[in-house]
Structure formats: C-alpha cells, structure tokens
Structure 1
Amino acid sequence: MRTDVEISRNAETTEAFTIYFDEIKSGAQMIILWDDMKVGLPITIVEDAPAKTKKN
C-alpha cells in the first residue's frame, strides 16, 4: 500500500523514532515523529453489514 501524506516540522526535536496513535471520530491517526519531522496518517474504520452465515 502507498499513500501521500503531508510532512510538518515540529518546534521541538524527537531523538528516538516514535510511532503512536491518536483516536479521532471515525478511526485513528498514526503519528510518526523523528527529529523535527511529523507525519500523520489517517486510518478510517468502515463498518460492514453483519456477516451472513451458511447453514450446512
């Protein structure tokens, strides 16, 4: 999978490569921090219809 994201600059630097998740209304956002860079990758949760089961 490949996606385009915006890279922003932080006022503070993060020495250790860091990944964490922020909860948002319809899913989450994966945040990647390193040095003075910050990348946010949105993750959307799509709710499917209930699964149908087969009777044998």
Structure 2
Amino acid sequence: MSNTGRNKRLASFNCDVELWEKFTRQCRDNSTTATAVLIDFISHYVDNSLDDVH
C-alpha cells in the first residue's frame, strides 16, 4: 500500500529526463515543489481556469 494518505492517490507518469530536470529546477528557483505545481495545475485544469495558474 502506498504512503499517500487518506483521500490521496499516488500518480506516476513518464516524462523526458531533460524536461523533468528543467521543470524541477524551475520549481526550486521559485521556492516550490513539483508536487505543488502539478496539483495547482490539475485543480485549475478541472475547473477550466487555466488562466489563473501562477
């Protein structure tokens, strides 16, 4: 069983290594995490509010 907590799902996907490294570097430069950015994106995506993504 995964250690993701109640009402959470562990997500996994394949991504180009260079793209992922650039993404995580940008996250660090912005004092955030890949998880936080992806959750924010997903929330805005399902609400049809991508214009509000930070």
Query: Same-fold call, TM > 0.5?
Result: no
TM-score (norm: length of structure 1): 0.25
Name whichever structure is richer in helix by fraction: 2
Greater RCO, CA 8 A, separation 6+: 1
Q: Which entry has the higher C-alpha Rg, 1 or 2?
A: 1
TM-score (norm: length of structure 2): 0.25
Name whichever structure is richer in strand by fraction: 1
